[in-house]
A = this chain, B = another copy of it.
């Protein structure tokens, strides 16, 4: 007769959800080893014993958090499927990827941390890898089809382009705080400018054309 959703006494936003949220934030910020169950419990406003009641170990809690992050990351990737010339889709794709990372900073930091951890130290040895691999494969497929329509040079290895595109975005994401301090860098706080320049560079290269006179109008003002 009551409106109780399940077994909860009457209940807050659900202790489990609070624990997961607190753990996600802390793990993303500081990494597994620098976060204690005490901190997580405090941040979630529950007792430490309660955390252990819901998650049998710290490791298991961490896994639950990483799984959540991977699922979320997978759900975010809706772009890329519909058609159109790649040279038009690519800027959006790159900018979308970068914006996703920045907006869902936490999720992606967790995923990147997991990918960069030595395989033997990792808890789940291929979850993040699988999610990342899917994104990668989809991007390669798009590039390959653009080669078949003749839009992109055939000598190029599409996996190479995908690596470069993703790598440049990941590197920007990881290093923006460091890059910000370099006097030469003006794009550290302008992700959309960065991805536009990135795609332009990838498409057109940086070598000067031989005859400036006959140049086919390339004035992508940066």
Contacts and interface: CB of A to CB of B under 8 A. Distances in A.
B171 A184 contact: no
Nearest to A86: B221
Please report whether the interface of chain A is mostly helix, strand, loop or mixed according to DSSP.
helix
Contacts of A115: 175, 178
Interface residues of A, number: 74
Nearest to A113: B116
A216 B211 contact: yes
Contacts of A151: 207-208, 221
A164 B198 contact: yes
Given A184-B140, A217-B211, A30 B121 contact: yes
Contacts of A161: 201, 206
A22 B88 CA distance: 52
B208 A218 contact: no
A216 B220 contact: yes
A60 interface: no
A160 interface: yes
Contacts of A157: 186-187, 197, 222
A14 interface: no
B216 A217 contact: yes
Contact of A217 (B132, B201, B209): B209
A87 interface: yes
A208 B218 CA distance: 10
A184 B218 contact: no
Given A163-B185, A164-B201, A206 B136 contact: no
25 contacts: A31-B33, A33-B34, A87-B221, A129-B181, A133-B181, A152-B206, A153-B207, A156-B197, A157-B197, A159-B184, A160-B194, A163-B168, A163-B171, A163-B172, A164-B168, A167-B171, A167-B175, A170-B171, A202-B206, A203-B221, A203-B222, A211-B216, A214-B217, A216-B219, A220-B222
